[in-house]
Amino acid sequence: MDDPTELVVADEVADESADDVEEELLIEEISIDGMCGVY
Amino acid sequence: MRASSLVEQLKGGLDAPICLTWELTYACNLACVHCLSSSGRRDPAELSTTEAMTVLDELAALQVFYINIGGGEPMIRRDFFDLVSYAVDVGIGVKFSTNGTFIDPQAARRLAAMDYLDVQISIDGLDAATNDAVRGAGSYAVARRAMDNLAGAGFGPFKISVVVTRENVAQLDGFKALADSYGAQLRVTRLRPSGRAVDSWASLHPTAEQQRLLYAWLLSNGQDVLTGDSFFHLNALGDPLPGLNLCGAGRVVCLIDPVGDVYACPFVIHDEFKAGNVRDAGGFGAVWRGSELFRSLREPDAAGACSSCGSYVACQGGCMAAKFFTGLPLDGPDPECVRGGGLEGLAVVDPATVPRPAIDHSKPVRLTRKPVVTAI
Amino acid sequence: MEVTLDRPLELHPDVALRPEPFGALAYHYGNRRLVFLKHPDVVAVVRTLGDEPSVRAALEACGVAPSRWDSFIRALSALESSEVVRARVEPG
């Protein structure tokens, strides 16, 4: 009989990388305000 | 592929600056005691109009988004409007900093007619007494008149820039109200012991108690007030201040000075932090990409003497300009370290070894009445 | 207006997209705002928006898996509020 845990582990690995992208913000607004460049 | 950490990407340096500071001239009609560029007299080797436009062409090709023009007093250059218009024409936004002397009603109208241009008026006190003690007799009135002229010409929101000192920390609410009264945006920046300020920093920089007040004020007002990301050394006091809180010198920004020298930032005009010159083969791009100085600034930070301090992640050891010009080691605490980490080092600094600007463009008469260093 | 899959969008004409190793920087010359596009796929979609009849079509053209469309809609919504992208007016 196939070990069901093997299949579960494989699925988790595949989902993990997709989740990484989904959960992370794909854009970020930043304000550098010249970063000490304007005085 | 994971989305990247913003701060890590910027610390490693970009292929081109996001923006940069360009000091157009060392000439200035004022003689502020804290001038970071020790300005006053024009340098005879100043970039010509043609050379300046060549640099602008290069910055446009690199897709530098905007330049922060300053000096000295940039409007003293006869080609000021030509250069600013040219920058905008080639797709570079312009923000410039001025003492306001040359913003008469006609100039204000001319500026108001230009798009992609921001103006910043420098002022360091809410009244002539406070301001002029630092910037010279009559400078407060000049700055206020420039603001009135911009408002009268319908320029729209401009910026008011204040260097925070021991003498004006108590006026922060007043500066905010002043900016609000014009519909302007307030910027407050940190005093560094750079340029002429190397002499006055000890008596002008905020006390430890004032720094705590400043930090609290920035936490309350930070969303409306710009800081040039110059107060991240205060992050060790608690929650981080709004902004990126990252030293961008040589990584995200840099300085081009009036004779084309490229420095890590405007507060380290010194050979130790010079990366090259735009007149060298390969121009600005070659300096930005290939400079040994910039390569080292883009390496991961070493905490050095700060490595055992729990606040290092927040304050990142502070500002290298503040350390350099007070004679402190760059891999140790900032002179204004909020935990007092810089005090021990300051106490043992030999004044004779503290770096001084290599060339001083100050005019002979100075408010401090100290002996003049003559430019070579 | 909310960003939805069936709306046509475009890169705002006042925005410059500068490629970076990690994705791109987007600078809006009008409002002076700077946005970091943190993934090449987002950059590709933003560049493609103006050529496609809808957000859905742009996502498909760029080979973005449907499981990721929610994050892309969130990203495009943020980009719209920063005015990096805007609604495209179709000829009547």
What pLDDT sits at residue B358? 74
CB-CB under 8 Å, C27 with B65: yes
Q: Which residues contact B261 (CB under 8 A, 6 or more apart)?
A: B274, B276, B277
pLDDT digits (tens, 9 = 90+) for B141-161: 999 999 999 999 999 999 999
CB-CB under 8 Å, B19 with A32: yes
Confidence of residue B210 (pLDDT cuts 50, 70, 90): very high
CB-CB under 8 Å, A28 with C36: yes
pLDDT higher than threshold 90 for residue C4: yes
**If DSSP codes are grouped into helix, strand and coil, which group holds residue B162?**
strand
Tokens at B240, concatenated: 């981080």
Q: Which residues contact B357 (CB under 8 A, 6 or more apart)?
A: B38, B194, B195, B198, B269, B270, B373
DSSP letter for each residue of B64-128? --EEEEEES-GGGSTTHHHHHHHHHHTT-EEEEEE-STT--HHHHHHHHT-SSEEEEEE---SSH
SS (H, E, C) B348-376: CCCHHHCCCCCCCCCCCCCCCCCCCCCCC
User: In chain A, what percentage of residues exceed pLDDT 70?
Assistant: 28
List phi, psi (to 5°) of B90: -90, 10
> For residues B356 and B247, what is the distance between their CA atoms, to the nearest angstrom?
22
What pLDDT sits at residue A39? 53
pLDDT higher than threshold 50 for residue B28: yes
Tokens at B327, concatenated: 């004679």
CA B227-B232-B234 angle, 5° bins: 105
What pLDDT sits at residue B372? 46
Least confident of B300-314, B338-352, C66-80: B300-314
B305/B279: higher pLDDT: B279
pLDDT digits (tens, 9 = 90+) for B310-319: 899 889 899 9
CA C33-B146-B92 angle, 5° bins: 30
Q: Could you tell me the maximum CA-CA distance found in chain B, to the nearest angstrom?
A: 61
**If DSSP codes are grouped into helix, strand and coil, which group holds residue B135?**
helix
What pLDDT sits at residue B163? 97
pLDDT digits (tens, 9 = 90+) for C45-64: 999 999 999 999 999 999 99
Q: In what order do the strands lie in the sheet with C34-37?
A: A27-30, C34-37, C23-28, C15-20
pLDDT higher than threshold 80 for residue B184: yes
Alpha helix locations (H) across C1-92?
A: 40-48, 55-61, 69-81
> For residues B255 and B268, what is the distance between their CA atoms, to the nearest angstrom?
9
Q: Taking residues B175-189, report their average pLDDT.
A: 97
User: In chain C, what percentage of residues exceed pLDDT 90?
Assistant: 91
pLDDT higher than threshold 90 for residue A25: no
pLDDT higher than threshold 80 for residue B104: yes
Q: Taking residues B124-132, report their average pLDDT.
A: 98
Element (H, E) at B267: none
What pLDDT sits at residue A18? 47
Which of C38, C43, C68, C72 is the best residue to mutate to test the B interface, defined by the most B CB atoms within 10 Å of its own CB?
C38
What pLDDT sits at residue B365? 66
Q: Could you tell me the maximum CA-CA distance found in chain C, to the nearest angstrom?
A: 40
Element (H, E) at B146: helix B139-152
What pLDDT sits at residue A7? 39
Residue of chain B whose Cα is closest to the Cα of A19: B2
Write down the pTM of the prediction. Answer: 0.91
pLDDT digits (tens, 9 = 90+) for B214-251: 999 999 998 889 998 899 999 999 998 887 778 899 99
B50/B300: higher pLDDT: B50
B372/B177: higher pLDDT: B177
Tokens at B46, concatenated: 């100043």
| Own/partner pairs, B214-223, CB within 8 angstroms, 24+ separation | B214/B164, B214/B169, B214/B172, B215/B241, B215/B338, B217/B172, B217/B173, B218/B188, B218/B242, B221/B172, B221/B176
Report yes or no: C65 at the A interface, CB cutoff 8 Å. Answer: yes
Q: Taking residues B9-19, report their average pLDDT.
A: 91
CB B46 within 8 Å of CB B368: no
- Tell which residue, B247, B257, B250, has the closest CA to residue B38: B257
Residue B293: C-alpha distances to residues B16, B249, B271, B288, C85 (Å):
15, 10, 11, 10, 38
pLDDT higher than threshold 50 for residue B33: yes
Residues 10-29 of A with CB under 8 A from B: 20-21, 24-26, 28
Q: Taking residues C11-21, report their average pLDDT.
A: 95
Residues of B with CB under 8 A from a CB of A: 1-3, 6, 18-21, 36, 68, 70, 95, 97, 120, 161, 163, 187, 189-190, 226-230, 242-244, 246-249, 252-253, 255, 265-267
pLDDT digits (tens, 9 = 90+) for B242-259: 877 788 999 999 999 999
What pLDDT sits at residue B2? 52
Q: Taking residues B177-203, report their average pLDDT.
A: 96
Chain C nearest C-alpha distance from A5 (Å): 24
Q: Of the candidates B6, B36, B230, which has its C-beta nearest A28's C-beta?
A: B6
Tokens at C36, concatenated: 């970091």
Q: Which residues contact C90 (CB under 8 A, 6 or more apart)?
A: C8
Mean model confidence pLDDT for chain B: 93
Report yes or no: C36 at the A interface, CB cutoff 8 Å. Answer: yes
Confidence of residue A16 (pLDDT cuts 50, 70, 90): very low
pLDDT digits (tens, 9 = 90+) for B321-367: 999 999 999 999 999 999 999 999 999 999 899 998 877 999 986 55
CB B67 within 8 Å of CB C29: no
Residue identified by tokens 């992609």 is B116
What pLDDT sits at residue A31? 79
- Other residues' Cβ atoms within 10 Å of the Cβ of residue B277: 15
Residue of chain C whose Cα is closest to the Cα of A17: C68
Chain A nearest C-alpha distance from C20 (Å): 13
User: In chain B, what percentage of residues exceed pLDDT 70?
Assistant: 96
What pLDDT sits at residue B303? 81
